[in-house]
Homo-oligomer: A and B are copies of this chain.
Amino acid sequence: MVTIKEIAEMAQVSRSTVSRVLNDSGYVSEEAREKVEQVIEETGYVPSQYAKSLRTKRTKVIGVILPTIQTETPSRIVTGLGKELEEHGYQILLANTNHDKEKELEYLDLLKVRQVDGIVLIATNTAPNLIEKIKELPIPVVMIGQEAENVMYVSYNDYDAARTLTSLFIQKGHKKIGFIGVDESDKAVGILRKQGYYDEMQAHGLPVEENWVQKAVFNIDSGYDAMKKIHTSEGVLPSAVFAVTDRLAIGAMSYLKQEGLRIPEDVAVAGIGASEISQYIHPKLTTIDYQNEKAGEEAAKQLLSCIHSKKVKEKMILDYRLIERDSV
């Protein structure tokens, strides 16, 4: 490994001068600069990141904590993050919790030890101890997908999106509308989307039967099961079902098709997420696009500006887009 000292000797200047050339700082004569650059070129020298970090306290690494990398939302976010960070010479250090909430906390500590310059948390919950920990951290943290007080975040307009979708059903003449949601520990998906649904129903004076509303977890099978529960329950059957994610919607459709029910004639279905397959399944799924990549980019921007200029905490709520297709 060639070091700055060797470069200095070869170029017959001091380490300081080499450092100045490297960092474009202070005064350096044209002559010295050329000499140093030539030697660097010849040797293929690259400065040691850790020596640099040790002095400067900067690693140019951003930690990203996510619940899984196997679904589209986080993947897209990470892609967006990567794009923006790469342009500024930052790298991503990945921390996959596999949906383990304990690990979210652990990784927050671990990334601190790893001395990342900032952290992006693709959040699944806003538990008080999590929020506390974030506030205690000496480095900036941006949450994506959830909102919380006194924390930087980029989130989606879950409430309005849910109202929009519910409203679409109603426009199409549906009055009995079911809902497949998730646990309320996930505020964005579990509470806001459900609230949007309830409020829109109420705004139109439509009743919500208890058996129309089911709770699922984040996977396709769970959507299937929830639809089954709705279908096999006692009361009246809904003519439409709003699932809070595309995957749940796909599971629900899978059940309906299996039962010989037509979509959307017998039961209309819609989801949220604009997953890639949503347009290749039959019928094409009506859904909402959340611009996840943009969320990643924006989070990166927020983080970088916070790292560089200590700007005030910012929050950002992204817009959404309704994609009307054939399932409604």
Interfacial residues, chain A to chain B (CB-CB below 8 A): 46, 48-51, 53-54, 59, 61, 64, 68-70, 72, 75-76, 78-79, 82-83, 86, 91-96, 98, 110, 112-115, 220, 250-251, 254, 257, 276-277, 280-282
Contact = CB atoms under 8 A, between A and B. Distances in A.
A52 to B, nearest CB: 8
Contacts of A61: 93
A232 to B, nearest CB: 20
Contacts of A82: 69, 94, 96
A15 B76 CA distance: 46
Q: Which 5 A-B pairs have the closest CB atoms?
A: A50-B50, A92-B94, A50-B53, A82-B96, A46-B113
A250 to B, nearest CB: 5
Contacts of A276: 220
Contacts of A112: 46
Contacts of A250: 277, 280
A114 B93 CA distance: 12
Given A251-B280, A280-B250, A49 B96 contact: no
Contact of A280 (B50, B68, B75, B281): B281
30 contacts: A48-B54, A49-B113, A49-B115, A50-B54, A50-B59, A61-B93, A68-B79, A69-B78, A69-B79, A70-B72, A70-B75, A70-B76, A70-B79, A78-B94, A79-B98, A82-B96, A83-B98, A91-B94, A91-B95, A91-B114, A92-B93, A92-B94, A220-B277, A220-B280, A254-B280, A257-B282, A277-B281, A281-B281, A281-B282, A282-B282
A114 B280 CA distance: 41
Most B-side CB within 10 Å, residue of A49, A98, A250: A49
Nearest to A69: B75
B280 A48 contact: no
Contacts of A92: 93-94
